[in-house]
């Protein structure tokens, strides 16, 4: 796809997404690799802009350089952000009680701890990304290994076969001590994302090495 057409499609998608104020977001495209610049008022908008961009057909890579600039002169104190984050996570029924610890420094939140599933790790991140004062999130929560290598590999391969978005034959899956390595080629970023989600959905997976190329 022509870079100019892709750039316009991304701009249209950012403006279409109601959770994003795209007025101050810049978009540059070079051979399918997108660079987002500018600023937004919340980390949630920054994350939403990234997701919206990756959903556009033709995107092969993304450099995320958007800055978070909260509205107003009053900056939320780190200890207040930490209290709000812990409270919000505690209300999320998906995340086990006491499984996640929170550290905040200069508006950047670091999540640590251990959970049994990747979706719990993602839920903790999603719970705090729209909190006032959050400038960024480091999600260092670990997923505990739980299943055998052969079981994990089969579950992932079966999931890929069921997924309408993915050509399963084009993907090679390797598993070692809870680490999954994905190789192969797909046609869109959506296919690549669906493959990575399938890998993370298997029990005991604590790392996914995504080597899939977009052809």
Co-location of 107 and 121 in the same domain: yes
Total count of domains within the chain: 3
Co-location of 137 and 172 in the same domain: no
Pick the range with the lowest mean pLDDT from 18-22, 68-72, 136-140: 68-72
Query: 55 lies in which domain range?
Result: 3-68
For 110-125, what is each residue's pLDDT tens digit?
Answer: 999 999 888 999 999 9
- pLDDT over 70 percentage in the chain: 96
Pairing, β 142-143 against β 108-115: parallel
Co-location of 173 and 123 in the same domain: no
Where do we find the tokens 């209290």? 83
Q: Residues near 133 by Cβ (< 8 Å), separated by ≥ 6?
A: 70, 75, 76, 77, 80, 81, 107
Co-location of 154 and 204 in the same domain: yes
CATH number at residue 13: 3.30.1340.30
Q: Residues near 84 by Cβ (< 8 Å), separated by ≥ 6?
A: 128, 131, 132
Residue 73 counted as domain residue: no
Last residue of a domain, one of 68, 86, 118: 68
Co-location of 130 and 153 in the same domain: no
């Amino acid at each position: 796809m022509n870079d100019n057409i892709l750039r316009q499609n991304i701009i249209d998608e950012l403006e279409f997404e109601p959770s994003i104020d795209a007025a101050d977001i810049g978009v540059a495209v070079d051979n399918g690799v997108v660079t987002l610049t500018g600023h937004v008022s919340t980390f949630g908008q920054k994350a939403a802009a990234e997701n919206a961009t990756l959903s556009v057909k033709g995107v092969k890579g993304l450099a995320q350089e958007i800055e978070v600039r909260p509205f107003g002169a009053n900056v939320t104190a780190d200890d207040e952000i930490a209290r709000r984050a812990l409270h919000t996570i505690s209300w999320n029924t998906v995340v086990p009680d006491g499984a996640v610890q929170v550290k905040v420094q200069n508006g950047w939140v670091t999540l640590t701890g251990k959970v049994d599933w990747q979706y719990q790790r993602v839920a903790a991140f999603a719970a705090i990304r729209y909190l006032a004062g959050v400038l960024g999130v480091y999600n260092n929560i670990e997923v505990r290994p739980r299943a055998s290598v052969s079981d994990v590999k089969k579950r992932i391969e079966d999931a890929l076969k069921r997924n309408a978005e993915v050509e399963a034959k084009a993907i090679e899956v390797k598993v070692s001590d809870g680490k999954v390595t994905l190789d192969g080629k797909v046609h869109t970023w959506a296919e690549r994302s669906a493959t990575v989600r399938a890998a993370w959905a298997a029990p005991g997976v604590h790392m996914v090495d995504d080597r899939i190329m977009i052809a």
